[in-house]
Structure 1
Amino acid sequence: MIGEMDADSVVGYFRGKSILITGSTGFLGKVLVEKILRVQPDVKKLYLLIRAPDAESAKLRIQTEIIGREIFHVLKEKHGVQFNNFIEEKICPLVGDIIYENFGLDNVQLEELSKDIDVIVNGAATTNFFERYDVAFDVNVLGVKHVCAFAKKCPKLKMLLHVSTAYVSGEQEGLIPEKPFLMGETLRVGTHLDIESEQNLIKETMRELNINCCTKRDERRTMKELGLKRARNFGWPNTYVFTKALGEMMIGHLRGDIPVVIIRPSIITSTLKEPFPGWTEGIR
C-alpha cells in the first residue's frame, strides 16, 4: 500500500506543475483530471489534447465529456460559484490529435507548450479489440512515436507516463515478469516483427482497396481482418493488445534519455471511494 507519506509527496509534487494529458475524454483520463484538480488545486496547468474541428468544439467536449460528468460533482461543491473560474484557470484545451506529427499543432503553440510542460501522460488509445488495423496503428503505434518526439522537445520534462495494458503479454500463463518489449520482439517463436513493414503493409492494402473501388464496408472489414491476422501471426490475441505492444516497443526505441514510466493496468472497474464510491462509465 502507498503510505500516507508517499501520497502526500505525490500531491506536493504536482504543485506548480504543467501536465499534458492525452486521452482525457476517456474513462481513465477524466478520473485522472478530476483527481489532480481535487487533491492539488495548486497544479499550474492541465493541457488537454482534444480531437475537435476548432477551439469552441474542444471546449464543448471538455464541458460535456469531462467536467459535466457526475464524477466532478464533489469538486463542483467544493468550489461553489468559483468552479467555472477555477476550471478556466487550470484547464487549457489544445485542439489536436496524437496521430499527427506535433499533434497537428502550429509552431507557435508547440513552442509555448514545449517550454511549459513538466509531465506528459499519454492515455490516448483506441481500446476496441477488433479495431481496423490502420486506425489502431495510427493511434497506438504512430501516436506514441509523435508523443516521444514531442517529449524530446520539452526542456523541463520530468516524466513521460505511458498507459499501456497488462494484456500486451498476450495469453501467457503463470507469473509474467514486467519487462519492456524490445523492438521486433514477438510472442511466437520463429517470427520477426518489423514496424516499418507493418506500416507499409497497411498502406499497400489501402492502396489496393482504393484501386479496386471497394465500398467503405468492405474496406472496414478488410482492415479489421488484417489487424487480427497480423496480431495472431505474431502471437497476440487481438489487434488492440498487439498494437499496444508495438507502442511500448516504439517508446523503448525512441525515448533516448527521457524518463519514461509505462503502466500496464488490467481491467479497470469503478471508483473504490474517491471522489465517491461506485462511479463508472460505459458497460463494465
Structure 2
Amino acid sequence: MELKTILGYLKDKIILVTGATGFLAMVFLEKILRVQPNVEKVYLLVRAPDTNSAKDRMHNEIIGKALFKVLREKLGADFDNFISKKVVAVPGDVTFENLGVKDIKLREEMFNGVQIILNSAATTNFDERYDIALDVNTFGVLHLLSFAKKCLKLEMLLHISTAYVCGEREGLIPEDLSSFMDEKVKGTTKFNFQVQEKKVVEEKLNDLKAEGASEENIRSTMKDFGIERAKLYGWPNTYVFTKAMGEIFLENSKGNLPLVIIRPTVVTSTYKEPFPGWIQGFRTIDSVIAGYCKGKLTCLLADPMSVFDMGLKFVNKASGQYFEDIYVNYSRKLTLVMRLVELYKPYMLFKGIFDDSNSRELQKLTSECYIDAKEFNFDPKCIDWEDYIMNTHIPGLRKHVLV
C-alpha cells in the first residue's frame, strides 16, 4: 500500500477558521503555514465592522504574536508578502446569519472554494453571561451549519467542543454522547429549546432594564442566570451546558456534512511547536495557578484520588521558583476562593474516565498510513507531565501572560 502524506493532503487546500483570535485557532493557523506553505488560502473569521478593522485585528492579535516568530524568522523579509497571499481576514461573527460576512462577492468566493472548516469560535468562561454564551456556543453553531452546507467543496467540518459536555458523570464515559445529552435535556427538541431559551433570556433582560439595573448588575445577574439554567438541565456551568447544546444542534441538523468533533479537556501552553510554553491569556487552569502564586488563593477543593488532566499538585513546588518577583500582598479573599471552588468543583472532584478509543485508533491509522505522521504526533504518553508543568507551562505563563 502506498503511504499517503498529511502535508500532501493540505497542499492547495482552502480553509476557513472561526474564532481566529483564540488560542487553538491561532496554533492551528501557525502550524499549517509553517509546515505546508503551499496551502492555497486560509480565511480567518474575525469579529470586526469592516475589512480594514479585520486586517488590523489579524495583524495585531494573531500574526503579530510571538507564536509566529519561528515562521517569521524562517521567511525573513518574505514573511509579510507570504501572509498577504495566504491569509485573508474576513470581518464577521458566528452569531449572525452567513457568519456575518456582508461582502457578497467574498461570501460566494468562500462558498465555492472552502474545503475545510475549523470552528473554534467560543466563549470559554465557565460563568459567562448566559445571553452571550448562548449566542456564541449554541446558536452560533446553527449559523455555522447553515454556512457549511452552502460550501460546495466541503470535505470536513471540524468542531472544537469540550470533553466536559458529559456533565458530572462517573465511570467510563463513551465518546458517543448524543443519546446521553438528548436524555439530559429531557426530550427537548432543538426547535423548542431554541425558542424557549431565547424567550427566557429576552424576558430576563427586559425585566432588568425595566428595573433600571446598571450594566454591572445586568452582567452579574446574567452570569448567575446562566449557572441557574445550566443546573436546571443537569450541567454544572454555563460553558459546558451551552457547548453541549451546540453539539446537540450539530448532531440533529448536520445532514450529510462530513463532521468531526474534537473534545479537549484542559488546554494549556504549547508543548514543543513552534516552541515550548507559548500561551495566550489565562487558560482554564491558569487562574488557579496565578491566584495561588499571587497569594490571592490559598487553597482549593480537590480530590487527590481523582484523575485530572493537569497536575495541580505541582503548583505548590513551582510557585516560589517562578513567581517570587511578582508576589503581591498575601491575603485571603473568601469571595474569590468560594467562586473558584464553585466553578472548579465539577473538575476537581470529577469521577469520570474518558474513553479515547477513537483517538488511539486515529494514532494507529496515522502511523500506518502516513509517511509524515511524526510531524503531527499527538500521543500524550510521550510527555513527562511534571517536567512540562514545572519547566514549560508555568514559565510560559509568566513570560507570555503575567508580564
- TM-score when normalising by structure 1: 0.92
**Letter in structure 1 aligned against 2:201:** I
Q: Which residue of 2 aligns with 1:243?
A: 242
Deviation of the 1:72 alpha carbon? 0.7
Work out whether residues 180 and 252 of structure 1, in 8 Å CA contact, stay in contact via their aligned partners in 2. no
Q: 2:93 aligns with which of 90, 97, 103?
A: 97
- Give the number of the structure whose residues are more often helix, by fraction: 2
Deviation of the 1:209 alpha carbon? 2.3
Q: Using the alignment, how far apart are the partners of 1:267 and 1:232 within structure 2?
A: 21
Gap runs ≥5 in structure 2:
287-403
Deviation of the 1:275 alpha carbon? 1.1
Q: Using the alignment, how far apart are the partners of 1:210 and 1:88 within structure 2?
A: 45
**Distance of aligned partners of 1:143 and 1:182 in 2 relative to their CA distance in 1, 3 Å threshold:** farther
Q: Which residue of 2 aligns with 1:55?
A: 51
Q: Which residue of 2 aligns with 1:139?
A: 136
Question: Cα deviations across residues 128-180 of structure 1 (Å, max 9, x unaligned)?
Answer: 10001000000001110000000000111001000000111112122100014
Q: Among all aligned residue pairs of Structure 1 and Structure 2, give the percentage whose two residues are the same amino acid.
A: 50
- 1:198-213 map, 5 Å: 198-213=197-212
Deviation of the 1:251 alpha carbon? 0.7
Q: Which residue of 1 aligns with 2:32?
A: 36
Does 2:268 correspond to 1:269?
A: yes
Q: 1:65 aligns with which of 14, 37, 61?
A: 61
Deviation of the 1:186 alpha carbon? 4.7
**Distance of aligned partners of 1:58 and 1:113 in 2 relative to their CA distance in 1, 3 Å threshold:** same
Q: Using the alignment, how far apart are the partners of 1:115 and 1:200 within structure 2?
A: 36
Work out whether residues 20 and 45 of structure 2, in 8 Å CA contact, stay in contact via their aligned partners in 1. yes
Q: 1:169 aligns with which of 166, 170, 180?
A: 166
**Distance of aligned partners of 1:139 and 1:267 in 2 relative to their CA distance in 1, 3 Å threshold:** same
SS in 1 for 2:128: coil
Gap runs ≥5 in structure 1:
none
- TM-score when normalising by structure 2: 0.66
Work out whether residues 186 and 235 of structure 1, in 8 Å CA contact, stay in contact via their aligned partners in 2. no
Work out whether residues 180 and 249 of structure 1, in 8 Å CA contact, stay in contact via their aligned partners in 2. no
Work out whether residues 16 and 43 of structure 1, in 8 Å CA contact, stay in contact via their aligned partners in 2. yes
Q: Which residue of 2 aligns with 1:87?
A: 83
Question: Cα deviations across residues 17-58 of structure 1 (Å, max 9, x unaligned)?
Answer: 100000111111110000000111000100000011222221
Q: Using the alignment, how far apart are the partners of 1:21 and 1:218 within structure 2?
A: 34
SS in 1 for 2:266: coil
Work out whether residues 183 and 253 of structure 1, in 8 Å CA contact, stay in contact via their aligned partners in 2. no
Q: Using the alignment, how far apart are the partners of 2:205 and 2:181 within structure 1?
A: 23
**Distance of aligned partners of 1:166 and 1:68 in 2 relative to their CA distance in 1, 3 Å threshold:** same
Does 2:170 correspond to 1:152?
A: no
Q: Report the structure number with the largest CA radius of gyration.
A: 2
Deviation of the 1:192 alpha carbon? 4.7
SS in 2 for 1:49: strand
Question: Cα deviations across residues 95-129 of structure 1 (Å, max 9, x unaligned)?
Answer: 00000011122233221211110011000000010
Does 2:108 correspond to 1:111?
A: yes
Q: Using the alignment, how far apart are the partners of 2:210 and 2:171 within structure 1?
A: 47
Work out whether residues 166 and 177 of structure 2, in 8 Å CA contact, stay in contact via their aligned partners in 1. no
Work out whether residues 46 and 90 of structure 1, in 8 Å CA contact, stay in contact via their aligned partners in 2. yes
Q: Which residue of 2 aligns with 1:178?
A: 175
